[in-house]
Amino acid sequence: MTKPIVYLGPTLSREEAVKILDADYRDPAKKGDFLMLSQDSDEKKYVGFIDGVFLHDYPPPPIEVYHLATRKNIELLGASSLGALRAVELEKFGMKGIGRIFQLYKRGIIDADDEVAVTFVKGSNTLQSEAMIDIRFNLFLAYKKGIISKDTKKRFAKIAKGTYFPFRNYEDLVDLTQQQYPSIHGELENFRGYILQNRDSLKARDAVKLLKYLKLHANRYA
């Protein structure tokens, strides 16, 4: 049986991923990628869908992912980003969702594509913007640690949500929030310093969960 195939881009570095799982890592999925997989041989395959394209190309549409999810010889898993979105749409057809972001979409706590959308440098998969869901996550962590107040957390999230996703980065968002709410300048400066040293990613955490799930089932494709 072949190695699992994992579509991975900016959510988790390839270096970190290979420490967890020996897999056939591919660039973020685009339209046509799953169609080709669904036409492959009947050999048992595990496919992990984490990242897909948003602006660089057309992403895999639900119907294309559906054809792969319904193949009896393929176990398709989604997490973190576009993979989590497609897993919610296609769970009843056999696609398995992994992680917190999948659960947030499934329960309707979040519902917009832009919660996970980012821009990145094609080829190197270097992030150029921050995912809204990760901004929310880091604001929550900063609030729990006493770096910012609950009101500041809400105000920052409002500004971030109102910013077009390719332009979401912490430096600019701190500046925009300060312009809108000058009374919380001190808290925002504290957050600016905090995020430089403590940036976390819920998307990356969920990607790790998907890779660990595949590793746990390694005996099936070893």
Instruction: Kindly state whether residues 171 and 209 are assigned to the same domain.
Output: no
Residue 163: name the closest of 179, 147, 145 by CA. Answer: 179
Instruction: Kindly state whether residues 190 and 208 are assigned to the same domain.
Output: no
Instruction: Kindly state whether residues 159 and 70 are assigned to the same domain.
Output: no
Distance CA 77, CA 99 (A): 11
Instruction: Kindly state whether residues 176 and 216 are assigned to the same domain.
Output: no
Instruction: Kindly state whether residues 11 and 84 are assigned to the same domain.
Output: yes
Cα-Cα-Cα-Cα dihedral sign, residues 135, 13, 59, 54: positive
Instruction: Kindly state whether residues 30 and 108 are assigned to the same domain.
Output: yes
Instruction: Kindly state whether residues 19 and 117 are assigned to the same domain.
Output: yes
Instruction: Kindly state whether residues 163 and 145 are assigned to the same domain.
Output: yes
pLDDT confidence band for 219 (50 / 70 / 90): low
Q: What is the pLDDT of residue 1?
A: 59
Distance CA 214, CA 80 (A): 15
Distance CA 10, CA 52 (A): 10
Instruction: Kindly state whether residues 165 and 186 are assigned to the same domain.
Output: yes
Beta bridge partners of 52: 29
Beta bridge partners of 24: 5
Q: Is 222's pLDDT higher than 70?
A: no
Instruction: Kindly state whether residues 112 and 96 are assigned to the same domain.
Output: yes
Question: What percentage of the chain reaches a pLDDT higher than 70?
Answer: 95
Instruction: Kindly state whether residues 144 and 106 are assigned to the same domain.
Output: no
DSSP structure string for 104-149: HHHTTS---GGGT---EETTTTEESS--HHHHHHHHHHHHHTTSS-
By three-state DSSP, how is residue 77 classified? strand
Q: Domain range spanning residue 146? A: 132-198
Numbers of helices and strands, H then E, in the chain: 11, 7
Length of the chain: 222
Q: Is 27's pLDDT higher than 70?
A: yes
Cα-Cα-Cα-Cα dihedral sign, residues 46, 23, 120, 199: positive
Please give the mean pLDDT across all residues of the chain.
92
Instruction: Kindly state whether residues 38 and 94 are assigned to the same domain.
Output: yes
- CB neighbour list of residue 124: distance below 8 Å, 6 or more residues apart: none
Q: Are 28 and 69 in contact (CB under 8 A)?
A: no
Tell me the pLDDT tens digit for each residue of 156-209.
999 999 999 999 999 999 999 999 999 999 999 999 999 999 999 999 999 999
Provide the number of structural domains found in the chain: 2
